[in-house]
Amino acid sequence: MIMDTDHVVTDFELKEQLVETTTELYRAGLVTATGGNLSVRSVERENAIWITPSQIFKGALKPEQMTLIDMDGKRLEGDYKPSIESVFHAGVMKLRPEIHAVVHTHAPLATVFGMIDLQLLPVTTEAIFLMEYPHIPWYMGGSKDLAKAVMEMVGQTKAMGAFLRNHGLLTLGKSLRQAADNTLMAEHTAKILLTLKMTGMEPSLIPEKAVKFLSQFAGAL
């Protein structure tokens, strides 16, 4: 369990956080009715992760519908089938002990950004933090190929997220809140960059010296 200044965080509270965060992202239009998946590392079970269920409406989940999986993505507890992306959720956390949450969404603007090979210019501080995100080629959702690519390009690096070509967005965090915030940051930044592309004008950029200074903090977000 995680000791807080006010109370001890339990697995049930983590499941509630999964529900609340999934609902938040659904209402923001980043998670679709059945598309997208979130996970958080268990505090009561060693080498175990709570993840959202597969093919269940994401706008009205309940804590008891969350599924516990091991570090290979296999179900340990729960009446519902875990997300088809459970292997790469578990794989990333297995390879990176500092990561405690993974968020995969079908964020529309981040998805567009990931498809058009648009250069990620340092137009805002948030954009600098996204410059480390790799672009992962398209693989069938839930496939071993996709899981392998995610683990190679995210699990074995310090990247805090990735653009999944023709699929969506992946973000990580030391907490579920941080992973979700990274998702919101990426979608907001994609909106700015795509709007700039539509104007056809050259944007002003953050000076290179500042970019180098700020980029060292990317892994902390």
H or E element that contains 147: helix 144-150
> Residue 1 — very low, low, confident or very high, per pLDDT cuts 50/70/90?
very low
Determine contact, residues 82/158, Cβ cutoff 8 Å.
no
Q: How far is CA 77 from CA 53, 73, 153, in A?
A: 12, 12, 29
Q: Kindly report, residue by residue over 10-62, the tens digit of the pLDDT.
A: 999 999 999 999 999 999 999 999 999 999 999 999 999 999 999 999 999 99
To the nearest 10 degrees (0 to 180), the angle between helices 176-199 and 11-27 is 20
Name the DSSP letter for residue 219. Answer: G
> Residue 219 — very low, low, confident or very high, per pLDDT cuts 50/70/90?
low
- The whole-angstrom separation of Cα 136 and Cα 151 is 11
Instruction: Label the pairing between strands 101-105 and 37-41.
Output: antiparallel
- The whole-chain average pLDDT of the chain stands at 93
Q: Residue 5: what pLDDT?
A: 46
Q: What is the DSSP string of 205-216?
A: ---HHHHHHHHT
Q: Residue 7: what pLDDT?
A: 65
> Taking the complete model, does pTM exceed 0.85, yes or no?
yes
Residues 6 or more apart whose CB falls under 8 angstroms from that of 218 comprise: 128, 129, 131, 132, 160
> Residue 119 — very low, low, confident or very high, per pLDDT cuts 50/70/90?
confident
Q: Which of 92, 97, 89, 117 is nearest to 18 (CA)?
A: 89
- The whole-angstrom separation of Cα 60 and Cα 90 is 24
Q: What average pLDDT does the segment 189-205 reach?
A: 91
CATH of span 2-220: 3.40.225.10
Q: What average pLDDT does the segment 161-174 reach?
A: 97
- Token code pair at residue 173: 């965090």
